[in-house]
Amino acid sequence: MPIQVLPDTVASQIAAGEVIERPASAVKELIENALDAKAQHIRVEIQGAGLEQLTVSDDGDGIMAEEMSLALVRHATSKLRQIEDLDRLQTLGFRGEALASLAAVSHLTLTSRHHQASQGRQISVRGGKIVHEQAAGIPPGTQVAVHQLFYNVPARRKFLKSETTERRHVVNLVSHYAMAYPAVRFSLAVDGREALRTTGSGNCMMSWWMYWASNSSERWWLSIPCRINDLI
């Protein structure tokens, strides 16, 4: 094959694969964005192991309406201006790649209201292109809803493990962040059922929705490294 420069869409899909390998890596990036935005409550919802739908909502600082589309551009970040900033970086992210990557390989809807704004904005993107934009009446904070992850990258879908394994990656990831940030209230819903909820009280206090565990043949929740008297 002769050498050719790849079209932007193909280059973006390949670059996206380095940041977003599986549903759990999408959830990781979105949780880190919420933590960087000083969220006190982070809610994660997944359907179909996160491939059908995954949503991360937070009550953090939010994004200004005029910056919403910029947030989806590769290497666009509010966390870094020059290379020296790397030395004093306090945030989890700084490369400005997560939202652009996710937007390139899914149907993504970003809804956000900046904490100083009177109303929010919603942008819908299909394979990296904005297809719809409107005002949104929501409380301050941000919600990223990702539908049909990897719909346009069949090779990436083939690389994924079973639904059970991908779901377990998400559950483990959320529980680890919940334990690493006990002052933040985390909740996780899997296929419409509450799988995890923490109080955000500052201790490793978790209540597991037992009906989820008892209705499930999976026993992944037993492996959560949380002391029994920290559970509520």
Ligand X SMILES: Nc1ncnc2c1ncn2[C@@H]1O[C@H](COP(=O)(O)OP(=O)(O)O)[C@@H](O)[C@H]1O
- Choose between 93 and 200: whose C-beta lies nearer to Mg ion: 93
In DSSP notation, 190-220 reads: ETTEEEEEE--SSS--EE--HHHHHT-S--G
State which of residues 23, 50, 96, 128 lies at the interface with ligand X (CB under 6 A).
96
User: Which of these segments, 55-63, 122-130, 163-171, 198-206, binds ligand X (CB under 6 A)?
Assistant: 55-63
Q: CB of 169: closest distance to ligand X in angstroms?
A: 19
Q: CB of 158: closest distance to ligand X in angstroms?
A: 26
State which of residues 27, 49, 55, 61 lies at the interface with ligand X (CB under 6 A).
61
124 backbone dihedrals φ, ψ, rounded to 5°: -110, 135
Q: CB of 116: closest distance to Mg ion in angstroms?
A: 21
State which of residues 60, 120, 128, 182 lies at the interface with ligand X (CB under 6 A).
60
37 backbone dihedrals φ, ψ, rounded to 5°: -90, 10
- Contact between 128 and ligand X by CB under 6 A: the answer reads no
169-198 exposure pattern, b = at least 16 Cβ within 10 A, e = fewer:
bbbebbbebbbebbebbbbbbbeeeebbbb
Question: Could you tell me how far CA 32 lies from the centroid of its own chain?
Answer: 8
User: Which of these segments, 75-83, 120-128, 154-162, 173-181, binds ligand X (CB under 6 A)?
Assistant: 75-83
Radius of gyration of the chain (CA): 18
Cβ–Cβ under 8 Å, residues 75 and 106? no
Residues 80-99 that bind Mg ion (CB under 5 A): 93, 98
Q: How far is it, in rounded angstroms, from Cα 57 to Cα 68?
A: 15
Which does residue 27 bind out of Mg ion, ligand X, none, counting CB within 5 to 8 angstroms by kind? Answer: none
Which residues does 88 contact at the CB level (< 8 Å), separation at least 6? none
Residue at token pair 């670059």? 15
- Contact between 97 and ligand X by CB under 6 A: the answer reads yes
State which of residues 16, 24, 31, 34 lies at the interface with ligand X (CB under 6 A).
34
Cβ–Cβ under 8 Å, residues 69 and 123? yes
Give the nearest residue (CB) to Mg ion: 93
**Contact pattern from residue 151 through residue 190 relative to Mg ion, giving x for each residue in contact according to CB under 5 A and a dash for the rest:** ----------------------------------------
- Choose between 95 and 161: whose C-beta lies nearer to ligand X: 95
Residue at token pair 């599986």? 22
3-class secondary structure, 68: helix
State which of residues 24, 31, 65, 71 lies at the interface with ligand X (CB under 6 A).
71
The residue type found at 231 is: L
End-to-end CA distance of the chain: 61
Q: Which residues bind ligand X (CB under 6 A)?
A: 29, 33-34, 37, 58, 60-63, 71, 76-79, 93-100, 142
